[in-house]
Chain A
């Protein structure tokens, strides 16, 4: 996006090298095939720090040696990288680095892929004059349950500390002590637990930081790397699988600046262990009996034929475009049923409007946006790597961040304005914002779009202003957003529930008012499922077929559930979906699945939904899959098989085509690539896309010619309903114990957390987050065990008091393995009651919600 920088010419070691003006010398040298050794230089971490002095070079006209990593090139510069002076300094630096290094390469996991080894061999003196005893530390010690640190190997390059301080901004890692005694650690030796902590393993240029899950598993010459995509969340990070003996042993980033900036979250990094899990379903079963594929498919076809158009299909968020396409095709064409849905459910009309190609922002646009509005989503939980991207934009540029959400987000600290609305009330705020943005600018009372006009927000200090959700909040927000240069990141969850449709319409209105069709502006919707966007675009949406083509409207997910219970829907196909865990009202889903005449589940693992299924077909995991995904910003990406499928597992596309054939709908598709061809033929804006075109880096469909074929959204504004502000919602914080319930999906509340031994310790226990005022009013303290009740259902949780929670609201986690808050979904308000006396607070076990309100 940034303007092309002028090219200049310089001479390095007698070779003329062209480079972009302002590039660092070490990068420019690569253009002339000259390598300048570096340790601390890592552009991913931000600007150069010049800490290690490995990159010293001689520049004509400058008497002292200069660091190549922090010297920008100039036209006509003459640089020498192999003169005697330079070689002497390089030798000295390597000798110094090795003074305290234990040289235990044979037992070090980094051996063979270690920059210190490479640089010592390439630029070192080859011998050491140091005969004194080396510095000793206890080793290796656990920095966290996921990372071990060997402090003797550390060369003090600061990379890990910089990551923690400057990139993840968790500020946990420090360099402690001074001089030769300095070491990397955390305050008080607390474990370094943070969602992105694993990245320091890749960053460390020596073997000081090693992965607990990969420790001693393989050496670089034992392994093969295989590039694919992580499908554990919508970030769809580009990953490399390290494969040894046909098993994935490690996951590391495949640096794609358009997607992930080369970072991974720990769920993706350590979530690979489940691929080789012994708990995988490896054989098809019918009523629990292992019968083999032919019999299972026959049985499935028989039941589906009996159910006919009374069949529903639900596709899980991890499914590929091909799988989603074939699943909806079975429903629509083989069975004539309109009941197709993905676990990410939104109503088609406003969604279609928001998916318009000119409104879409690319992830990289975030870097250059003037202002960013984050609405109804905490990227840290929903799309972790995007959180790092947003932080980067705020840290580096003049980007002004505005966060509007019901629950406090991890980004609040960097925001100019944060607006808190009541749980589920995004529509109200968005409509107010739309009104603000569309107000005629001539009105002198309107706050201007310039930051100076907004009280309390100076350009100097980053004093976050917290505003309430209503019109005044919208006014502050509107003041921060610059039309034509604003990226809106919204959680697609704002489109759920009663006010959902209105919220999406208002969002589309805001996007128009902010001229999101401009070059540096746009929208990015964060779905719940990893491939939420792709699945909708290939037709896993009630009322819209592939490419948003008009289709007969079917039941939505809740209606499917009720239909199953009432006997109006006879059969259900679950394609890697677990409605009991992932959809609102899990207990009702469990009941619905039990009552259904036939449930056919395609799944990798046994879960609450397969338990109620009659026919279970094994599915491949993402490292085994071939197919495509669509990133939330519209980037088509390729999944490539890296390891063989275990047991009798077949590709899901194959299971679906075979099932389709048995239902007398021959698809003529015999491979994943033919399924992609079929998608490219049916989705107009994917027209002509091939796996080769997508390649290793992906391609945004909005940037292809075919994007013009995206059908314009029907103008739905006429019939648009305003959010029902008067739907009899209880007053916020009204007496008694009633609180507004909001649920969110925690990063770790996922099957992947429980199935991977390495990250199992991160699985969250249910908790209910309250404002301290509410806690005091209800007599609840941090850690109290409570029961959260609504309409006869209850969930047990521990109280967590949180300064930044809005009084009157309570937040709980969806998708936990036990005590899942989705049981309470649909409930507007909840009552909270303590069930066990808090330790250290005896005598307070009386019904406390009867106490007078304190706030």
Chain B
């Protein structure tokens, strides 16, 4: 060996490598296409399972009840007064700084909310919102909650600033809900 590789000083440095089989034959063909065929098997199985995509926007993906979509502001069911008192705690909690509240004093004869004050301006810039839901957690009156709506694309950034009226309004379409465990 030292004659074959004269520069090797020590025979122990030599590692003998075993050669694989020569290409060709059945084994060769299997080695080339076997894994591909295995993948194709899965594909073929799915061809017969039928489609699982849905025809958006005719059909909508249902969401889980805890899904955090576009916010909603709420009114008391009995009195119709707004729950929001304009305390700005949501604005304080918001990490994206996308809520603006300007409060005003209620007129006792023509109340807007149940408390002493109400939100004269309530705006959420949905272009900035990260849907973390902190505002909902911060609200002491459950006046703001995260809804299920997720279709908020628009042509203008300005249109993504939702006003109090928009947030109070019932949404036109209901987002389908997924049942628990589904």
Mark A residues whose CB is within 8 Å of B.
104-107, 111-112, 140, 215-219, 221-222, 245
Contact = CB atoms under 8 A, between A and B. Distances in A.
Contact of B103 (A105, A112, A216, A245): A216
A216 B115 contact: no
Contacts of A107: 85, 87, 115-117
Given A215-B105, A216-B104, A111 B116 contact: no
Contacts of B89: 106
Contacts of B101: 222
B34 interface: no
Contact of B88 (A104, A140, A222, A245): A222
25 contacts: A104-B115, A105-B140, A106-B85, A106-B89, A106-B115, A106-B140, A106-B141, A107-B85, A107-B87, A107-B115, A107-B116, A107-B117, A216-B86, A216-B104, A216-B105, A216-B116, A217-B103, A218-B88, A219-B87, A219-B92, A221-B88, A221-B91, A221-B92, A222-B88, A222-B91
Contacts of A140: 116
Interface string B92-107: 1000000001111100
B30 to A, nearest CB: 69
Contacts of A111: 87
Chain A interface, >50% SS class = loop
Contacts of B104: 216
A219 B88 contact: yes
B92 A112 contact: yes
Interface in B78-92: 85-89, 91-92
Contacts of A222: 88, 91, 101
**How big is chain B's contact interface, by range?**
10 to 19
A414 B76 CA distance: 59
Pick the most buried of A105, A219, A245: most chain B CB atoms within 10 A of its CB.
Answer: A219
Contacts of B116: 104, 107, 140, 216
A216 B117 contact: yes
A809 B140 CA distance: 63
Contacts of A215: 105
Given A104-B115, A219-B87, A219-B91, 6 more contacts: A105-B87, A107-B115, A216-B103, A216-B105, A221-B91, A221-B92
A245 B103 CA distance: 13
B92 A106 contact: no
Nearest to B117: A216
A106 B92 CA distance: 12
Contacts of A216: 86, 103-105, 116-117
Interface in B44-88: 85-88
Contacts of A217: 103
A562 B101 CA distance: 57
B146 to A, nearest CB: 19
B47 to A, nearest CB: 58
B87 A106 contact: yes
| Pairs A-B, 7 closest by C-beta atoms | A106-B87, A216-B103, A219-B88, A107-B115, A221-B92, A216-B117, A107-B116
Pick the most buried of A140, A222, A245: most chain B CB atoms within 10 A of its CB.
Answer: A222
Contacts of B117: 107, 216
A104 B105 CA distance: 15
B95 to A, nearest CB: 13
Contacts of A106: 85, 87, 89, 115, 140-141
Contacts of B92: 112, 219, 221
Contacts of B140: 105-106
B118 to A, nearest CB: 9
A591 B140 CA distance: 63
A651 to B, nearest CB: 30
A215 B91 CA distance: 18
Nearest to A109: B117
Nearest to A212: B105
Interface in B116-156: 116-117, 140-141
A47 B77 CA distance: 54
Nearest to B85: A107
A216 to B, nearest CB: 4
B117 to A, nearest CB: 5
A569 B120 CA distance: 55
Nearest to A219: B88
A219 B102 CA distance: 9
Contacts of B91: 219, 221-222
A111 B140 CA distance: 13
Nearest to B115: A107
A245 B117 CA distance: 19
A219 B115 CA distance: 16
A104 B115 CA distance: 9
B27 to A, nearest CB: 73
Contacts of B88: 218-219, 221-222
A221 B141 CA distance: 19
A81 B24 CA distance: 89
Nearest to B139: A106
B1 to A, nearest CB: 79
Pick the most buried of B85, B87, B105: most chain A CB atoms within 10 A of its CB.
Answer: B87
Contacts of A245: 102
Contacts of A112: 92
Nearest to B89: A106
A119 to B, nearest CB: 20
A218 B102 CA distance: 7
A215 B117 CA distance: 9
Nearest to A139: B116
Interface string B16-47: 00000000000000000000000000000000
A120 B91 CA distance: 23
A647 to B, nearest CB: 23
Contacts of B87: 105-107, 111, 219
A105 B105 CA distance: 15
A72 to B, nearest CB: 40
A607 to B, nearest CB: 32
B56 to A, nearest CB: 40
A222 B92 CA distance: 8
A694 B101 CA distance: 38
A561 B93 CA distance: 61
Nearest to B140: A106
A218 B103 CA distance: 7
B139 to A, nearest CB: 9
Contacts of A219: 87-88, 91-92
A206 to B, nearest CB: 15
A107 B117 CA distance: 6
A106 B115 CA distance: 9
Nearest to B84: A106
A557 B28 CA distance: 114
A222 B94 CA distance: 12
Nearest to B97: A221
A107 B116 CA distance: 7
Pick the most buried of A105, A216, A217, A222: most chain B CB atoms within 10 A of its CB.
Answer: A216
A758 to B, nearest CB: 14
Contacts of A221: 88, 91-92
A188 B45 CA distance: 91
B119 to A, nearest CB: 10
A112 B88 CA distance: 10
A104 B116 CA distance: 10
A221 B97 CA distance: 11
A221 to B, nearest CB: 5
B44 to A, nearest CB: 61
A105 B88 CA distance: 11
Contacts of B102: 245
Nearest to B116: A107
B159 to A, nearest CB: 22
Pick the most buried of A106, A111, A112: most chain B CB atoms within 10 A of its CB.
Answer: A106
Nearest to B93: A221
Contacts of A105: 87, 140
A219 B101 CA distance: 9
Pick the most buried of B85, B101, B103: most chain A CB atoms within 10 A of its CB.
Answer: B103
A138 to B, nearest CB: 12
A104 B114 CA distance: 12
